[in-house]
Structure 1
Amino acid sequence: MEHMLTRLQWLVGEEKIKTLQGKKVLLFGCGGVGSFALEALVRSGVGHIIIVDGDKVTVSNINRQLIALPSTVGQRKVEVAKERALAINPNLHIEAYDMVYTGESHPTFIADINPDFVIDAIDMVSAKLSIIETCYNRNIPCISSMGTGNKMWPDQLKITDINKTHTCPLAKVMRKELRRRGIKKQTVLFSTEQPMTPNRDDDSRSPGSCGFVPSVAGLHLAGHVIRTFLEVQ
């Protein structure tokens, strides 16, 4: 009988589908990158997902965030994301935390959840470092997204170790700070593209962004997690 994961099962087999249904993924960020990572995790049959984001949907999110629609502007991102995920898979076990994560404010959060994999799709450097350091110390697999703003070429996105990154300003900061913490290896997604300089009239420091780089980055992150679970080389 045909079911939601029939086409994936053709690729990986019934036992691998059961493997995915038994996995727990903690996703930080439901924005341009994170919303697409969530979409792929849900549509791949991951059984338990925890999402964390402390923001609301704004009009400027509509160009790149899967959860952003004129009808969802003003709503909390995690609630919109949770509703969409359950609309896709009503059997999904999903937890939503409407909060801005920091290691100082939530020191035991990751440990208490004890996920099988962590995806970092947030922007704040201090929080990213805390997530990575906690996962490193607890031997929890983690993949972290570097900068996807001010970019226009999704084909220049790559998954590699942080020490092999270049060009990306965020990756440069992360390399330095992770070395200071004695963390020698960390899987990341980064772009080899030279960042563009946004042309804007206000004093905002937010990067420019398109609808096809963050989205592809999110799909790459989810793909890495799924392949790891399924031991696909």
Structure 2
Amino acid sequence: MNKYQFARTRLTFGKENMEKLYNARVIVFGIGGVGSYVVEALVRSGIGAIDIVDDDKICLTNLNRQLYALRSTIGKDKVDVAEERIHDINPDCKVTKWKTFFMPDTADLFDFSQYDYIVDCIDTVTGKLEIITRAKALKKPVISCMGAGNKVDPTKLKVADITRTSVCPLARVMRNELKKRRIKRLKVVFSTEKVIPPHDEDLDVSCKVNCICPPGTKRTCTVRNQVPGSNAFVPSAAGMIIAAEVVKDLTQFHVTDLFKE
């Protein structure tokens, strides 16, 4: 590794913490609007190994919010574009790609014991619960993103335990389901902003009605229960917050510690 590449980060975190990041392996489930920014920030922070999980291809409708979405990348697999970008940032970062839609029936493909941190950025409740349940069983650090769609105010994003969430409909569902599974604690990023109802009258640009997913896409918009509204700033902000929590937890570096007597 070029010793100068992470020099500015090292000035903040120190040599020992940079070594912790270099020796860590993180898996990110879902590299769309939120997950792509998680990956970006982790790689730029010096993470030594990262697994990226997503079965989607880049679509024209991803251009408004997803890091890997460019006119030149439409139709390409997200994990392929992500890998190329990661290595363009840090050639030494070890990348493991999974062109997989994570659900209980694909969960056995993954050995959760290999990871130092697990990041959940997928949008299916069943999949999220499977990730969290497996991580908790192995006592692995895990952070989960709640609903980032149909929101416009990134300042409403918060980090909290799942039991202290409010307003977010997805967080409410997850609280109830985790309680059934006797999982008491889970770090999440959620928004206290009320959900903005999608403009259903704009059917002429609705992916639900007029799906334009690239050929070969396994899960098109027409099979989704709902296509949420989104933008460039809320998902990306959520992703950056998640990445910051991962870095701080892996290094055990917390700003408040600097002010202790």
Give the TM-score band, short-chain normalised.
Answer: over 0.9
Code of the residue aligned with 2:73 in structure 1: it is: T
CA deviation profile, 1:186-230 (whole Å, cap 9, x unmatched): 111000000101103248311100100000000000000000111
* CA-atom RMSD in angstroms: 1.3
Aligned residue for 1:46? 47
Aligned residue for 2:136? 136
Higher mean Cα deviation, 125-134 or 12-21? 12-21
Gapped regions of structure 1 (runs ≥ 5): none
Aligned equivalents of 2:3 and 2:46: distance in 1? 14
Aligned residue for 1:169? 169
Give the SS at the match of 1:196: coil
Aligned equivalents of 1:19 and 1:163: distance in 2? 30
- Cα distance, 1:104 vs structure 2: 2.2
Code of the residue aligned with 2:246 in structure 1: it is: V
Aligned equivalents of 1:165 and 1:79: distance in 2? 35
Counterparts of 1:3-152 in structure 2, within 5 Å, are: 3-107=4-108, 109-111=110-112, 114-152=114-152
- Cα distance, 1:2 vs structure 2: 6.4
Aligned residue for 1:189? 189
Gapped regions of structure 2 (runs ≥ 5): 209-225, 255-261
Native 8 Å contact 2:207 2:227 kept in 1: no
- Cα distance, 1:105 vs structure 2: 2.4
Aligned residue for 2:215? none
Q: Which of the pair has more CA radius of gyration? A: 2
TM-score, with normalisation over the residues of structure 1? 0.96
Give the SS at the match of 1:149: coil
Aligned residue for 2:212? none
Percent identity over paired residues:
42
Instruction: State yes or no: 1:207 paired with 2:208.
Output: no
Aligned residue for 1:227? 248
Code of the residue aligned with 2:177 in structure 1: it is: E
TM-score, with normalisation over the residues of structure 2? 0.86
